[in-house]
């Protein structure tokens, strides 16, 4: 399906935004901590045409033939459902979170298509939100900067979609740059672009999509966030970001075992992000492998968000020469990443595929990604 096939005419403009891979820093974002994602060369495109009334009509290539329609005067989370909430929620959040006056605005016809894998932990949802947010900001002439649009995307996902995610995904999708990672302080929203220099070092990032789909709006993600909030409250801090590794012995005394392990993951993961930034700057990408592996072990053992398929992907990649590997994304399925030598890419990909077959798992989708530019008007 195309915009023309759905609406019967051609769009006026197209905007796109990338998915993201988080190099390191998992479940630290909603704890006011540090993350180190990069935008990838897999994108979601929003084709848009203004209307002469106040209706928003939304359709997509992955839900052929279905058009969801809502008036700007009726925007409310309870009026939104399914995938279209990722689009409609942005208009609502622009008004509610950013204070945009939509009273004199006209609606749009919107058509979404994407090559960001859904459910793989590569943030296909934020790619929709950020492309649409940038488009609405420009077309409605709201004048909001990209950091504000990232907050709008997060607010929409939290309150319109109902997924209790942090701000990392939207920040990566909006602020990403080519061959670089975005070092983000999730409390202050201060950012710094850090060179990855993968090409210069003969390296690539290999993604192993396990095809075990996850859903953030339900289940374990919500429980992990609640554990973190409970741990922070017991420790008397605003967020786990305010604890250091030196605070962990006291935390172990005060917290039950499960909450302590959740807290330990976040506190040590924040430190790993800081260590990775320093190591990239001082020694380059070949020196960060042990940090990636330690991150995976913490997510597997302390935060308990890995699954056997992710563990197998990481272990197999490391056994066949990867510099480092870890699961990426919210967990409970999704993807793992491996930092690999370019000449070893196919060998490692084949080894992972063979290991999945031997274990009786679904065949994974294995591909490389490159750090790419953030959301843009195409």
Residues marked as catalytic: 169
Cβ atoms of 18 and 373 within 8 Å: the answer is yes
The conformation of residue 12, written as its DSSP 8-state character, comes to S
Q: Which residue has the tokens 């990672």?
A: 181
- The Cα 296–Cα 300 span in angstroms is 6
DSSP labels, 62-96? TSTT--EEEEGGG--GGG--GGGHHHHHHHHHHHH
CA distance 69 to 122: 28
Question: Cβ of 117: how many Cβ atoms within 10 Å?
Answer: 19
Mention every residue, 6+ apart, whose C-beta is less than 8 A from residue 67: 6, 57, 58, 59
Around Cβ 236, how many Cβ atoms within 10 Å?
9
Neighbouring residues of 81: CB distance < 8 A, sequence distance ≥ 6:
none
Residue located via tokens 């929620």 = 89
Residue 159 vs residues 80, 154, 179: alpha-carbon distances, Å:
11, 9, 33
């Amino acid at each position: 399906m195309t915009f023309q096939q759905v609406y019967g005419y051609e769009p006026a403009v197209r905007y796109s935004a990338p998915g993201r891979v988080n190099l390191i820093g998992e479940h630290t974002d909603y704890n006011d901590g540090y993350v180190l994602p990069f935008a990838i060369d897999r994108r979601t495109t929003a084709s848009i045409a203004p209307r002469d009334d106040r209706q928003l009509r939304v359709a997509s290539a992955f839900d052929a033939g279905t058009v969801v329609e809502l008036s700007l005067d009726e925007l409310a989370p309870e009026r939104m459902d399914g995938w279209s909430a990722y689009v409609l929620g942005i208009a609502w959040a622009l008004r509610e979170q950013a204070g945009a006056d939509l009273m004199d605005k006209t609606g749009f016809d919107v058509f979404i298509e994407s090559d960001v894998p859904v459910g793989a932990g590569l943030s296909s949802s934020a790619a929709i939100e950020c492309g649409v947010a940038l488009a609405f900001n420009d077309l409605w002439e709201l004048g909001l900067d990209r950091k504000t649009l990232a907050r709008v995307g997060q607010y929409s996902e939290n309150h319109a979609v109902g997924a209790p995610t942090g701000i990392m995904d939207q920040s990566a999708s909006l602020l990403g740059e080519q061959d670089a990672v975005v070092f983000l302080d999730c409390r202050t929203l201060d950012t710094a672009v850090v060179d990855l220099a993968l090409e210069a070092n003969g390296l690539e990032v290999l993604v192993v999509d396990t095809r075990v789909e996850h859903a953030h709006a339900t289940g374990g993600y919500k429980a992990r966030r609640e554990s973190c909030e409970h741990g922070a409250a017991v420790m008397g801090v605003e967020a786990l970001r305010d604890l250091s590794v030196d605070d962990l012995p006291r935390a172990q005394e005060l917290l039950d075992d499960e909450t302590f392990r959740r807290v330990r993951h976040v506190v040590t993961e924040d430190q790993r992000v800081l260590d990775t930034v320093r190591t990239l700057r001082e020694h380059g990408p070949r020196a960060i492998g042990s940090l990636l592996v330690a991150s995976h072990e913490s997510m597997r053992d302390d935060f308990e968000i890995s699954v056997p398929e992710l563990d197998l992907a990481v272990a197999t990649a490391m056994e066949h020469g990867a510099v480092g590997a870890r699961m990426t994304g919210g967990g409970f399925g999704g993807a793992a990443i491996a930092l690999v030598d370019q000449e070893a890419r196919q060998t490692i990909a084949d080894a992972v595929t063979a290991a999945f077959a031997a274990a009786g798992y679904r065949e994974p989708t294995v591909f490389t990604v490159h750090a790419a530019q953030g959301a843009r008007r195409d």
